[in-house]
Structure 1
């Protein structure tokens, strides 16, 4: 199934004083591209982030670029995946070997990758290893995530996301796998 909506969507951050994310999903000839940006203005942190993630037609991440402007200035992170072999800013990243997805913490858009790729039925779950990008620090770590597809509610698909570092959250998604509501973190406003 190809995504039909290439219009940007926007999310309001729920976990910071002021935060707004805008993102889109673009169908390309050889895969998909996620484009998003986020601005956060909070007493604890202020930054802007822009990222792009490219996948193949099976939703496997091929590359990601994350640009951040924050307290330490402007920084760029580039990730490339060639058949499970990752590089971070051109250097081999053996700790990411075998990861299929990138999860950029800046916006709920990258949750679309495993949701689309896994094709879970209600009641099914899958554990995956992902290259998780902390924003605004741009630190990359390997993290195990679990996605469980729940029964739809009011015509909306639902998933439970969990990992050992941040906990468990419920996600609702539209027909394209784009997050509508990310419990305690973000809510779609358009």
Structure 2
């Protein structure tokens, strides 16, 4: 895997009139760190989001911090997982226990976590329990997501992502598992 820290990737949001994001996947001695940011501005909403997610070497999330700047001011949420038990802003939240991944609903950077961790073959799928963090509200909840690996196309791996609330979307990823295209949400720049 390449160290993406010197060359972050950028996405253009295609679901809003003005939106962009930037993210890096950084290998560390004891795991991986995802650093991401997003900005959205249209008639209905204006916000920026900044987040950090840390995993162990098996791509299991250990902690996440998400900060949003919006009309409501600056707000932050911090999550930590130890032994399958989760805390949010220091308070134990049993309904999140057993979740392995964090999905920050901003740039598609956190989709890399299950893609890298699961290592599924074409035509296989896995259901995963994730901690889903809404942006810009910072609401935190448990969500079941399904990742189904499709056959590669155009030299890139493809997955179908689905969940019961938002539906199904195709993801095209590069060799590092970073999203190139997220159907209906974002596409990579450059």
SS in 1 for 2:4: coil
- Aligned residue number for residue 149 of structure 2: 149
TM-score (norm 2): 0.98
Is the 8 Å Cα contact of residues 4 and 176 (structure 1) preserved in structure 2? no
Describe how 1:70-89 pairs up with structure 2 within 5 A. Answer: 70-89=70-89
How far did residue 71 of structure 1 move? 1.4
- Aligned residue number for residue 109 of structure 1: 109
Moved beyond 4 Å, runs of 4+: none
Q: Which runs of 5+ in 1 are unaligned?
A: none
**1:82-130 deviations in Å (ceiling 9; x for gaps):** 0110000000011100000000001100000000000010010000000
SS in 2 for 1:110: helix
Is the 8 Å Cα contact of residues 64 and 79 (structure 1) preserved in structure 2? yes
Aligned residue pairs, count: 189
Describe how 1:6-155 pairs up with structure 2 within 5 A. Answer: 6=5, 7-155=7-155
Coordinate RMSD, CA, aligned: 0.7
Q: Which runs of 5+ in 2 are unaligned?
A: none
**1:6-35 deviations in Å (ceiling 9; x for gaps):** 310000001111000000000000000000
SS in 2 for 1:113: helix
How far did residue 43 of structure 1 move? 1.2
